[in-house]
Amino acid sequence: MEEGAKSTETESPALITVNVQFSGQKFPISISPDSTIKELKSRLQPLTNVLPRGQKLICKGKVLADAMSLKSLQIVNGSKVMLVATQGLHQGDGPTTRDVKKNQNVNRASATSYKPAMSNMERCKITGVVALSECGLKVVPDEVWDCGLCVRVLDLSNNLIREISAKICSMKHLNKLLINANDISDESISWESLSSLKYLAVLSLSQNQLTTLPSALGSLTSLSQLHISKNMLTSLPDELGLLNQLQVLKANNNRISLVPPSIGNCCSLIEIDFSSNLLIELPETFGKLRNLKALHLSNNGLKSLPSTLFKMCTQLSILNLHGTEITNDVLRQIEGWEDFDERRRLKHQKQLDFRVGSSGVFDEGADDDNRP
């Protein structure tokens, strides 16, 4: 009997490694052979950003059914499985492979620094506008800092800049700062100096290499627009709630998995874009955003919305939920759905009427496949 017991223990299934190929990459998954294909898909979701319902797994030319176990499908240690993703059914920034490089229109053979003609700098001092986008800059020219108090708008977008130094604090009257599409990382911004810009209303940091935002962001209390899309952000600071004049928040195409409840204090918000992130829920404080008109949440892992969203956000008329697991059946159970639906339809009709005669196709992100 003892020998039999030992034999049974030896035959208990150990973990196997399944090599999943997707988008030119290989993902080795250690998993029990008794696991189902559905469980394997769940393991693949955080690695590939593809939602389970958008995954099709193929082994030896056969599509694998969710309910079947790996063992029953004769998938063993070292087996190769191919993942095919349904377009649009993903979270985060789509497939894990990123574009080779942004700023393709920037001439990378440009000099490491750019010195505008003195006449241009004199013009900047008169107009208050420094426009240096797409100049192949790797550093901010000293002539720009010399303009100091004269500058109201500084556009450094679509360059190769890697640092925003403490000299930024010299621009006390700066109203708009555009440094999107550069090579800015977490450590390369002097946030202490940036946070001293009390008149800054528009800040664009999109398409950089940021993974986090510091608490100093909360000091920019005059901000009305914050653009931080297409970075590698995983969260937002609690101090976001101090930005009570913020009207537009664009944070799409990051890896944000959690929105701080303090966002409910951003009482001036009109438009929020959290599409293509890793969100599975939103805080109930969203119901405090009484001025909110547009909310973009496509391509996330959301299954529900805050219970007070429709009831309290009485101006909300645009809601994009493509690529989530929220259906109209779920929405109809939320208090205030009927009023929101009426606003949404009126908004939709107005836009259709405006585009009469146009060949463009309007898509608000609603009523498609029973998904809003």
Report pLDDT digits (tens) over 182-236: 999 999 999 999 999 999 999 999 999 999 999 999 999 999 999 999 999 999 9
Give the pLDDT score at 120. Answer: 61
How far apart, in whole angstroms, are the C-alpha atoms of residue 68 and residue 41? 12
SS (H, E, C) 223-234: CCEEECCCCCCC
79, 49 Cβ separation under 8 angstroms: no
Strand-by-strand arrangement of the 80-85 sheet:
25-31, 16-22, 80-85, 55-59, 62-63
| Closest C-alpha among 272, 323, 316 to residue 300 | 323
Altogether, the residues listed in the chain come to a count of: 372
| Cβ contacts of 350 within 8 Å, gap of 6 or more | none
Is the CATH code 3.10.20.90 the one for domain 13-85? yes
Tell me the helix, strand and coil percentages in the chain, rounded to 5. 25, 15, 55
Give me the residue spans of the domains in the chain. Answer: 13-85, 118-354
Instruction: Look up the CATH superfamily of 118-354.
Output: Ribonuclease Inhibitor (3.80.10.10)
pLDDT tens digits for range 111-144: 344 444 445 667 777 889 999 999 899 999 988 8
Report the amino acid identity of residue 69: S
Asked if the domains at 13-85 and 118-354 fall in one CATH topology, the answer is: no
Phi, psi of 230 (to 5 degrees): 60, 45
